[in-house]
Amino acid sequence: MDDNIRANQATRRSILASILVSMTLLGLLFPCRIAASHDDDISYAGNLFAAALEENIPLWLVKYNVPGAVISYIDNGEVEWTKAFGVADRRTGAPMHTDSAFCFASCAKSMTAWAIMHLVEQGQLDLDAPVDQYLKRWHLPPSQFDPGGVTIRRVLSHTAGLTVQGYGGYFPRRHPVPSLEQVLDGQNQGNGAVEVAWEPGGGFHYSGGGYTVLQMVIEDVTGEAYAEYVKRDILNPLGLTEGEWTWTPALKNRAATPYGFRGDDVMQYRQFATLGIGNYISSVPDFARFIAAGLPGPNGEPAGRGVLKPETVALIMSAQPDGVGYGFGCAVGQFSDGTPLVLHGGASDGWVAFFALAPEQRNGFVFAAASNLAQPLRYSVYELWATAAMGKTSPIKPEALMPTANPDKVSVPVSLILAAVLGAIAIRGAVRLRRDIRSGRRWWQPKPGPLSAITVGFWGLFAATWVYYFHASLRMWLPPSVPDFIWPREIIWVTLALMACTMLSVIKAFYTKKERS
């Protein structure tokens, strides 16, 4: 009897072991069919996304000619992991690190939205009040439209009818950084003044100028600088202390090297006159912690983490009236199955960034790369997240993901054409000068005539201005309205051709033409 009982028990243990082994194998082969908790689903999704990145990113870096990138994955309302790929500097081969610093450009418009909504919660601002009533240092210029329609709500959602899509940065050692008033008045790099050009509430018109106005609202209402207020009242309570809006020595030491549209042309660290449009500088996991703060946390923390109320965060992430799917500082859309989606892209000289959130799933990611060529890479990562982590097969491609225009397509041909024209002038003049000297039509004259002096002065002034503007490291006396373009390396051929024309004019000045008898 005891033997039979032991045999039956052994049989039952064997059957149970077989069932457990079978379930384990099924879980490995068909994991999506195994019932699991929410946390298990998220963890599994994160693993899928990580594995997909490890497989695809090295290939994409080569395909898109991008040196490296960093990606943070947001899981259950917190940053689960951060991965770095490629190199931070092509010349040295230094690897990219998870704590490398990037400029997040327009992605950080969400910080301005949080700051504005914090003041709304405190009763210092009314969302539907005219923005002009809070401004002290500058006011909207007169237009055919009612300025009372330019409300804070509409400025936040880009439906206030304001102009200027965005602004370029400055090299502080080469160009004076204008004040906020100067920027809004149009004393900037050719972007123009902020004006009411369309009917407020009449449609979506993306306006970095509008977010510059919001920066001034924050400063005029609080009496503090934008960065000081946002750090103290928004970022520090969230535990974020490493970011800045200016390139400090510490951030430069951690930064990836920014590259232009050629992939190997090093860009410079620029300072922006306007902070409200974005351009927050920090690491990817640091910025991802800010983005994750808009979701409920893993331990019951509310969306907004006490800095904002959950209902305020929900409003920020809701499409506003009269727009095309834009909330406050973020684009709002949905996957093809209707799952809500919140996202925003950012691009500056040498920097590309992007974030995407699925609020209902408390899931998302933040991407950054130090290359103008990384626009298609961020879209590829977005698609990979949608399919691997979210299980969505056909995500919507928003306008925020469209590639930025490549200025080299214009500046390179212009530079080469100008160099060719000046070079032709120099070569033609040199050939004729040599011929005239050899034939005796010109002879040495120690004192150039007035016409020759004027010609030399023209070419000399032209060359000096050109070299000073394009090659000098310091030109602080130029007004803020003078553009500070980044020209391609072909500009050196223009400089050489211009110097040749200048030298030719000097030589010709001392070889006077004989007058015909």
In a domain, 53, yes or no: yes
pLDDT at residue 318, as a whole number: 94
Q: Which residues contact 69 (CB under 8 A, 6 or more apart)?
A: 57, 61, 84, 85, 86, 96, 367, 368, 369, 374, 377, 381
pLDDT at residue 401, as a whole number: 43
Per-residue pLDDT tens over the stretch 206-254: 999 999 999 999 999 999 999 999 999 999 999 998 899 999 999 999 9
Which of 369, 401, 433 is the last residue in one of the domains? 401
pLDDT at residue 29, as a whole number: 33
Which of 337, 372, 401 is the last residue in one of the domains? 401
71 and 134, same structural domain? yes
Q: Which residues contact 430 (CB under 8 A, 6 or more apart)?
A: 500, 504
Going by their DSSP bridges, the two strands 331-334 and 281-283 should be labelled as unpaired
In a domain, 43, yes or no: no
Per-residue pLDDT tens over the stretch 392-448: 764 555 444 444 556 666 777 888 888 899 889 889 888 888 888 888 888 787 777
d(CA 164, CA 205): 9
Alpha helices in 129-207 (DSSP H): 152-156, 180-185
455 and 334, same structural domain? no
144 and 27, same structural domain? no
369 and 414, same structural domain? no
Q: What is the dihedral of CA 314, 315, 321, 327, to 10 degrees?
A: -80
In a domain, 180, yes or no: yes
DSSP code, position 322: T
pLDDT at residue 30, as a whole number: 35
Q: Which two tokens stand for residue 164?
A: 């200027």
348 and 303, same structural domain? yes
Angle, alpha carbons 216-176-458 (nearest 5°)? 140
- Could you tell me if 47 and 72 are in contact, meaning their C-beta atoms sit under 8 angstroms apart? no
In a domain, 42, yes or no: no
3 state SS of 81: strand
Per-residue pLDDT tens over the stretch 93-141: 999 999 999 999 999 999 999 999 999 999 999 999 999 999 999 999 9
- Beta-strand ranges (E) seen in 281-335 are 281-283, 331-334
476 and 337, same structural domain? no
Per-residue pLDDT tens over the stretch 327-374: 999 999 888 888 999 999 999 889 999 999 999 999 999 999 999 999
In a domain, 205, yes or no: yes
Q: Measured in whole angstroms, how far is the alpha carbon of residue 23 from the centre of its chain?
A: 48
pLDDT at residue 478, as a whole number: 63
Domain count, the chain: 3
In a domain, 279, yes or no: yes
470 and 382, same structural domain? no
390 and 415, same structural domain? no
Per-residue pLDDT tens over the stretch 9-57: 444 444 334 433 333 333 333 333 222 333 444 467 788 999 999 999 9
Per-residue pLDDT tens over the stretch 157-184: 999 999 999 888 887 666 778 899 999 9
447 and 340, same structural domain? no
In a domain, 41, yes or no: no
Residue 460 banded pLDDT, cuts 50, 70, 90: confident
CATH at 208: 3.40.710.10
pLDDT at residue 436, as a whole number: 83
66 and 213, same structural domain? yes
In a domain, 302, yes or no: yes
Q: Which two tokens stand for residue 116?
A: 């504005």
pLDDT at residue 120, as a whole number: 98
Mean pLDDT of 452-458: 86
Per-residue pLDDT tens over the stretch 267-295: 778 888 899 998 899 999 999 999 999 99
Which of 370, 401, 432 is the last residue in one of the domains? 401
296 and 178, same structural domain? yes
3 state SS of 168: coil
Checking if the pLDDT of 198 tops 90, the result is: yes
pLDDT at residue 398, as a whole number: 42
Mean residue pLDDT across the chain:
84
Per-residue pLDDT tens over the stretch 49-97: 999 999 999 999 999 999 999 999 999 999 999 999 999 999 999 999 9
DSSP H or E run through 356: strand 351-358
Q: Is the dihedral of CA 454, 457, 461, 462 positive or negative?
A: positive
Q: Which two tokens stand for residue 79?
A: 């940053």
pLDDT at residue 17, as a whole number: 40
pLDDT at residue 236, as a whole number: 96
186 and 168, same structural domain? yes
Query: How many residues in total does the chain contain?
Result: 517
Domain containing 438 equals 408-513
- Could you tell me if 422 and 497 are in contact, meaning their C-beta atoms sit under 8 angstroms apart? yes
